[in-house]
Structure 1
Amino acid sequence: MDASSHSSPPRSSFREAEKHLSGLDAQTVASLIEQSSDIAVIIENGLVKDVAIASEDLRRSGFANGWIGRPWIDTVSSDSRTKIEALLSAGDNAAPVRPRQVNHPSGGVRDVPVSYRTVKTPARGPVIALGRDLREISELQQRLVKAQQDIERDYARLRKAEGRYKMIFEAVADPILIVTAEELHVEAANRSAGKALGIEPDRLSRADFPGLFAPRAARVVERMAAKALATGNSTSEKTELANGKKVDLTASVFGQGLDARLVIKIGGEGIGPHQGDDDRAQLLRALEDLPDAFVVTDEDLRILAANRAFLEMAHLSEEEHATGARLSQYLGRSTTDLNVLISTLKTNGTARNFATVLRDRFNAEEQVEVSAVSTSIARPGFYAFSVRIVTRRFATEPPPGEELPRSVDHLTNLVGRMPLKDIVRDSTTLIERLCVEAALKLTDDNRASAAEILGLSRQGLYSKLKRFGIDDKA
């Protein structure tokens, strides 16, 4: 067997450095140090004794001018001083230490980043710092970060555009299907299409488009699709759906090749926009201008639309900032509040005067009352919420001249409208007042006797009389 197969792997340091390198003179060693780094610094007792710069770019910029005779630690920025201390104190003998990146202030706009290793010479000799210019790497990193930020901004714009597209797609009164050109599979369908076809929009996704029609009409649909792909658009005569309804189809193409899609519009008697659309538009405008907040969510309580009043309550500048967010981000003391409200909606279809809180984007809270309606009880649908601020109505401190709550019924009615700690505080205040009034009645308004039976000082009783607004009678 070849002896070389038994040789040990390369070592991390020379085996016989003294034998091979002991004859090197100081100039040769200096040349090796200069060529092995962009900048080499000789430091003794923390002071820069000599500097060699191999980088032509650094030399031209006047880097390291005036260093000799200064503390090395003074040549770096304030955030790098601890690293210089570590480089000077770490390691012993001639063992190199872990590299540290420091920043040197320069005459330019940005600091010069340099990665240093230090080697201590034997016999308490000087420290040699070998530096590598990191400006190119830093610029590449900054370019990478900028590219990543650009990608994230583009992605955010695409998501916003996609959100608008989905909202518009769902709001269109005409039944519309998006169909893949190659396989003729339904890719998306709006609610109007689901109603026209008698199929839930979710179930339409990935459905075979020709399969939605009567068997004898499927070929007609395929020919219409082929013509649209060839000419850009096409229409069909009355075509029979699988449920027997006769409809008109209009197809147009967007995209090219394998990415092409067909936009299919379904028309016919009783399908699409009807006479009440103008009234609906006026209703929508009225809801937008409503002084109470109005929010529409999907079954997962993600906001689909919100009027101006809601945006003002939540301190949001645009509707896009609310669209897609969960309602729980703004409404409810906790998830329990919304769970109770949605449970009521699923059971009864409506909820009235539900007390909770509304949080703005700065987490400031307002006491509110919510009335809500579900579009469907039997199956998942949409929820609409009307939100009204009622903070003043449920203020815990009564206005001057007004009576405190005088009955247990009144206090129990506050459950759900106020936090428990506020109800307990009001209950304590009510009990105190009732006890003071009872004591005055028992003692025929003798303040000294009333204070005694209440276990209060006379001054303490007078303080409570003033607090509760009980007139001091002669």
Structure 2
Amino acid sequence: MTRQSSRFDTLRAGELPVTTSVDRLVEQSSDIAIMVTHSGSVEGISVNPECAGLGCLDHWVGREFHDFLTIESREKYAERSKAVLNDPDMVPRSMQLNHVDNAVWEFPIRYTLHRVNGRDSLLLLGRDMQPIAEIQQRLVAEQTARERDLQKIRSSETFFRVTLEASETPLLLVEPESGRIRDLNSAAATLLGSKVDTLSGGSFAQAFEGRSKSDLMESLRAAASAEEMKVLELVARRSGRQLTAFAQYFRAAGELHLLCRLALVDETDPASPEVTQSLAALFAEASDAIVFVDSKGLIRDANEAFLILTDAAQIRDVKAKSIGEFLARGSVDLKLIVDTAMKKGRLRNYATQIQSAVGTRANVDVSAVRLRRRGGDLGFGLIIRDVTPREVVETEAASSVMSEEAMRNVMDLVGTASLKTLVSATSDVVEKMCIETAVKLTGNNRVAASEMLGLSRQSLYVKLRKHGLLSSEPEAD
């Protein structure tokens, strides 16, 4: 049987195509082709025009090929080129070399080395690996960024878990649609008479008695959506304890969740029926005016003594009005009382005047306290005491002393100064007394004192310095 020769055998036996066709074939079949002599110098180079990223490499011709390789690539090339030159029948295998050019530009090329027949030269046919290298770098960068994000998520989750568990307030995170407990802390689990693992993922309504799931979740959502904080009264199923629940919405990752805070209703709580009745009687029968206002100073409730003090006929005449309307200095007094009680929790014996509905005034001392409970503020409670008789005696005594001192000072100046000077000195005495009174009434709050006197803050400081009234004590807010 005669062996049929393949077309490769015919190609080996026949003649190669013309040189121009070979050059074109080499250019089109590879991104870069380099002819390297036996000594290692670049004899010729061809770059595919479609590989613009490689640029022009004509300056390689006549120079040593290994000069354009990284250190690790030089050893790989020296070993492979020696093997190809010593074994003409060696099957070409690809190898990746990293090139450097101009000391800063580095790019990878995957080559196959071919020995040229009749010559001790090597033809290197290469494929540009820069696009693949860029993709690999992006993948590495994405992986690094993802690991960094995962680390941040783990850190945030650990911080959340530690904070939730360390909180003494019983807290539960509830899904508003499904009504399931997403998370809770040990304080809440103990209050409900169970464990965190048992309650987590379970129904919120199942932890309480006497309420259906739909009814309880509807009440919980309504309480969270209300403008004013509402309290839900619940009974724990496992522990039998009477609890109050406060709910509020928050959004995380675009989804709404409910934060539910629980509080235990103690049987010995001060708000028991007997105590409540006693407080109501004290409020109604107290000789001093008692007023409850919100954070803006609007009257919510007042007792009979306040109605007498303001000459109001009934509670609806003063309810929902600002307490500042009944204070002699209006918004100045109101701002000072509210700000002080808000920052310090209470204010004692603030001297001012109450103006009644018919225009009469009475000297009063105002004490205020900030009312707070678990879950929010209730506003402020004011006790207003009429001190008119005491003020009259003190004012008369002070006026007498002032008159004697002023008269003595004026008499000392008679004969030594003109009438204009005497009048100026007297006005300075009165100005000093007015400033001292304003600073005393406002508790050394110079902003409120300047508003009370109708002066700018800078003008007040000038007059304080003029009369030697600048104290070393820090200024009240």
State the TM-score, normalized to the length of structure 1.
0.49
Whichever of the two has the greater Rg, that structure is: 2
